[in-house]
């Protein structure tokens, strides 16, 4: 109920700060609508406290009857005091407590609590009027306690607290001056402490109410900021989905004609249907094929990444042999390594069966090896794939190269989409910077992670950490430890 009240207030508050300006004298909001909203909120938020304060306050009021019995000077005096306490005070207080469940309580809350306050203090003053010493002095002490209790626990406006305190002060002195006079020394002493008690009650009520109102106003501002932030978040999320969907649509539309362009260019450059005549045409067709293949790779990267963003990528884990995943990946990138004269190798490892999506793990591995080839050194470059369990709880596929490396401060950036590091003119780089972010998404789908260790000028190690729980069974020692290039091709080193 508190949250709903705050929401209503936040919706109506707008940007007008003056609407929630506080009168420093009366501690009321200048705007009447704002005051009504605060009153409703305060009533609902403090209703349980008010009920419990009335109930237990009344019980204490009844228990003080024991003190009446002990200190009353005669039965007649005790009878009169108990008439006030049990005959008038207690029934009225319980009636006030019951009234808090009434539908009319919200309209009459301030009036009913003010009446309760006055009834409690006026009742004690009535006992002072008929009691003799020493019980009369005890009622004075009780009067101070009741004033402090009622000023803080009932959520009364400051103006009503002031009215109750001043009227109690005046009525008490009327009684002790003319109805049941007390010695002059006692009068001065009681006057001093009662004035001090009234001042403290008013001051604490002022501070308490000011704090609650400022806290309410701050809560409204926080609620408004939260609503604005939440709206901006959903707006940004919607825009991101629209952007992702747009990219996927455009990529699909481009890929179809691009496949035709690449296919025809490949036919012309290889002169499948006969001599093209002028060799320049074959060279141009080769350039078209290379550029088209590059563009197709970019489009495929965009499509793969947008699928992970929209949740459209198919994740189908099934038992797969680790050695087959590595061998297939290495064969698919072998031609690129051969073109750049880079040596590919797989270190010996104990083969096993993994419960993973082999296609996605293979795609992640190809992306890493392709990156290592792309950023490899021109002379003496080498890319090595190994298997390790150095990270506790994980089986790690490690791709290591001796390429240009990554600065430590750039490692986190490398995992962000559309980020390319370094001088693109110095190193021949293609793509949009979606390779590593895509690998990260794939590993997250497998409840795993990607870990990068790199030293500039010495090379990079990237770990694909797959939970060890995905290992279904061991399958002996793999024969994938031979160097792939030594099996199939011999690049220049």
pLDDT at 16 exceeding the cut of 90: no
Closest listed residue to residue 330, CA positions, set 383, 389, 394, 396: 383
Average pLDDT of the residues in 256-282:
79
Same domain membership, residue 222 and residue 335: no
pLDDT band at 125 (very low <50, low <70, confident <90, very high): very high
- Among the ranges given (88-102, 220-234, 311-325, 451-465), the one the predictor scored with the smallest mean pLDDT: 311-325
- Whether residue 165 is predicted with pLDDT greater than 90 in this model: the reply is yes
Closest listed residue to residue 154, CA positions, set 118, 179, 185: 118
Q: Is residue 393 part of a domain?
A: yes
Q: Which two tokens stand for residue 364?
A: 């992640």
DSSP letter string over 407-470?
-GGGHHHHTSTT---S-TTTTT--S-S-HHHHHHHHHHHTT-EEEEEEETTTEEEEEEEEEGGG
- pLDDT confidence band for 202 (50 / 70 / 90): very high
> 164 and 20 in one domain?
yes
d(CA 141, CA 149): 13
Of 149, 50, 155, 43, the closest CA to residue 98 belongs to: 50
Over residues 47-62, the mean pLDDT reads 92
The per-residue pLDDT for 166 is 95
- Which of 175, 204, 230 lies at the terminal end of a domain, its last residue? 230
Position 238 in a domain? no
Confidence of residue 389 (pLDDT cuts 50, 70, 90): confident
Residue 480 shares a structural domain with residue 331: yes
Q: Which residues contact 189 (CB under 8 A, 6 or more apart)?
A: none
Write the DSSP assignment of 133-183 as a string of letters.
TTHHHHHHHHHHHHHHHHHHHS---HHHHHHHHHHHHHHHHHIIIIIS---
Number of residues that make up the chain: 493
pTM of the model: 0.51
Q: Is the pLDDT of residue 101 over 60?
A: yes
Q: Report strand pairing: 394-401 vs 382-388.
A: antiparallel
Structure letter (DSSP) for residue 278: S
**Residue that has been written with the tokens 């481009």 in this structure:** 254
Do residues 482 and 406 lie in contact, with contact meaning Cβ atoms separated by under 8 Å?
A: no
Per-residue model confidence (pLDDT) at position 404: 84
Partnered with residue 209 across adjacent β-strands are none
Could you tell me what percent of the chain has a pLDDT over 70? 84
Residue 307 forms part of a structural domain: no
pLDDT at 415 over 90: no
Buried/exposed code over 251-261 (b: 16+ C-beta within 10 A; e: otherwise): beebeeebeee
Which is more confidently placed, 238 or 9? Answer: 238
Predicted local distance difference test score (pLDDT) of residue 251:
65
For residue 75, give both structure tokens: 């039965």
The pLDDT of residue 195: 94
223 and 356 part of one domain: no
Residue 488 has pLDDT above 70, yes or no: no
**DSSP class per residue in 93-147:** HHHHHHHTTSTTHHHHHHHHHHHHHHHHHHHHHHHHHHPPTTHHHHHHHHHHHHH
pLDDT at 9 over 60: no
In this structure, the number of other CB atoms found within 10 A of the CB of residue 389 comes to: 12
Give the residue-averaged pLDDT of 482-493: 36
According to the model, what pLDDT value does residue 442 have? Answer: 86
pLDDT at 341: 84
- Is pLDDT at 476 greater than 50 in this prediction? no
Q: Is residue 278 part of a domain?
A: no
Highest mean pLDDT among 166-175, 338-347, 356-365, 367-376: 166-175
Q: What is the pLDDT of residue 377?
A: 67
Domain membership of residue 409 (yes or no) is yes
pLDDT band at 373, cuts 50/70/90? confident
The residue whose two tokens read 């306690």 is 145
Instruction: Say which residues have a Cβ less than 8 Å from residue 131's Cβ, sequence separation at least 6.
Output: 72, 77, 81, 139, 180
Using the predicted structure, report yes or no on whether residue 151 has a pLDDT greater than 90.
Answer: no
In the structure, how many helices (H) and strands (E) does the chain have? 15, 8
| 274 falls within a domain | no
Any idea of the CA torsion for 119, 125, 127, 131, to the nearest 10 degrees? Answer: 180
Q: What are the C-alpha distances in Å from 271 to residues 5, 11, 194, 260?
A: 78, 72, 112, 16
pLDDT average, residue stretch 112-138: 90
Which domain does 340 fall in, by range? 318-488
Pair of tokens at residue 389: 């369990």
Note whether 335 and 208 are same-domain residues.
no
Buried b (16+ CB within 10 A) or exposed e, 223-239: bbeeeeeeeeeeeeeee
Please state the rounded mean pLDDT for residues 391-413: 86
Pairing of strands 343-346, 382-388: parallel
Percent of the chain at pLDDT above 90?
27
**Mean pLDDT to the nearest integer, 289-316:** 71
Amino acid 487: pLDDT: 35
* pLDDT band at 430; cut points 50, 70, 90: low
C-alpha–C-alpha distance, residues 154 and 149, integer Å: 8
Domain boundary among 209, 230, 251: 230
State whether 20 and 163 are in the same domain: yes
Average pLDDT score over residue span 214-242: 85
Q: Residues 340-369: what's their mean pLDDT?
A: 88
Which candidate, 1, 19, 15, 10, places its Cα nearest to that of 223?
A: 10
Does the pLDDT at position 482 exceed 80? no
User: Are 85 and 222 contained in the same domain?
Assistant: yes
Residue 479 lies in a domain: yes
Give the pLDDT score at 174.
95
- Asked whether the predicted pLDDT for residue 481 surpasses 70, the reply is no
What is the pLDDT at residue 56?
Answer: 92
Indicate whether 171 and 32 sit together in one domain.
Answer: yes
Cβ atoms 318, 352 nearer than 8 A: no
- Please tell me the distance from the alpha carbon of residue 336 to that of residue 373, in angstroms, as a whole number: 7
- How many other CB atoms are there within 10 angstroms of residue 162's CB atom? 18
* Position 393 pLDDT exceeds 50: yes
Q: Which of 230, 245, 263 is the last residue of a domain?
A: 230
Segment 284-302 mean pLDDT: 75
- For residue 389, the domain's CATH number is 3.30.565.10
Supply angle C-alpha 43, 161, 52, rounded to 5.
Answer: 45
Q: Is the pLDDT of residue 349 over 70?
A: yes
3-state secondary structure of 491: coil
**What does the angle CA 289 – CA 365 – CA 286 come to, to the nearest 5 degrees?**
10
Nearest to 314 by CA among 323, 324, 303: 303
* Alpha-carbon gap, residue 156 to 109, rounded angstroms: 9
pLDDT at residue 378 in the model:
64
**Looking at 8-22, 203-217, 218-232, 304-318, which range is the least confident one?**
8-22
The average confidence (pLDDT) of the chain is 82
Whether residue 234 has pLDDT greater than 60:
yes
In a domain, 259, yes or no: no
Q: Is the pLDDT of residue 445 over 60?
A: yes
Domain count, the chain: 2
């Amino acid at each position: 109920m508190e949250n709903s009240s705050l929401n209503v207030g936040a919706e109506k508050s707008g940007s007008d700060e003056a609407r929630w300006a506080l009168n420093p004298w009366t501690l009321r909001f200048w705007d009447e609508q704002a005051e009504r909203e605060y009153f409703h909120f305060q009533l609902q938020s403090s209703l349980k406290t008010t009920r419990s304060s009335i109930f237990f306050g009344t019980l204490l009021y009844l228990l003080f009857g024991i003190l009446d019995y002990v200190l009353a000077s005669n039965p007649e005096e005790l009878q009169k005091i108990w008439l006030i306490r049990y005959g008038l005070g207690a029934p009225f207080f319980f009636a006030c407590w019951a009234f808090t469940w009434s539908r009319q309580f919200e309209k009459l809350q301030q009036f009913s609590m003010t009446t309760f306050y006055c009834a409690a203090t006026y009742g004690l003053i009535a006992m002072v009027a008929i009691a003799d010493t020493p019980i009369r002095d005890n009622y004075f002490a009780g009067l101070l306690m009741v004033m402090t209790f009622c000023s803080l626990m009932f959520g009364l406006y400051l103006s009503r607290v002031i009215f109750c305190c001043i009227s109690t002060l005046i009525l008490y002195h009327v009684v002790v001056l003319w109805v049941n006079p007390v010695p002059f020394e006692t009068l001065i002493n009681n006057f001093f402490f009662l004035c001090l008690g009234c001042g403290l009650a008013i001051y604490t009520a002022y501070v308490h109410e000011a704090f609650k109102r400022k806290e309410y106003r701050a809560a409204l501002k926080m609620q408004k900021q939260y609503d604005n932030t939440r709206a901006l978040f959903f707006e940004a999320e919607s825009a991101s989905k629209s952007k992702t969907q747009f990219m996927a649509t455009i990529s699909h539309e481009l890929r179809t004609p691009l496949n035709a362009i690449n296919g025809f260019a490949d036919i012309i450059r290889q002169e499948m249907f006969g001599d093209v005549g002028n060799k320049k045409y074959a060279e141009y067709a080769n350039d078209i094929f290379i550029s088209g293949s590059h563009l197709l790779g970019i489009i495929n990267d965009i499509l793969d990444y947008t699928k992970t963003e929209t949740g459209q990528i198919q994740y189908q884990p099934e038992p797969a042999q680790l050695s087959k995943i590595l061998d297939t990946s290495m064969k698919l990138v072998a031609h690129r390594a051969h073109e750049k004269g880079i040596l590919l190798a797989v270190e010996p490892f104990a083969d096993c069966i993994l419960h993973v999506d082999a296609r996605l793990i293979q795609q992640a591995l190809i992306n890493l090896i392709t990156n290592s080839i792309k950023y490899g050194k021109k002379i003496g470059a080498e890319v090595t794939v190994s298997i390790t369990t150095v990270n506790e709880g994980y089986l790690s596929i490690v791709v290591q190269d001796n390429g240009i490396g990554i600065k430590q401060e750039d490692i986190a950036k490398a995992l962000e989409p559309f980020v390319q590091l370094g001088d693109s003119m110095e190193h021949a780089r293609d793509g949009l910077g979606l390779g590593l972010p895509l690998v990260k998404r794939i590993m997250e789908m497998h409840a795993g992670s990607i870990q990068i260790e790199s030293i500039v000028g010495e090379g990079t190690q990237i770990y694909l950490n797959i939970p060890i729980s995905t290992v279904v069974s061991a399958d002996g020692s793999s024969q994938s430890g031979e160097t792939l290039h030594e099996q199939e091709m011999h690049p220049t080193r």
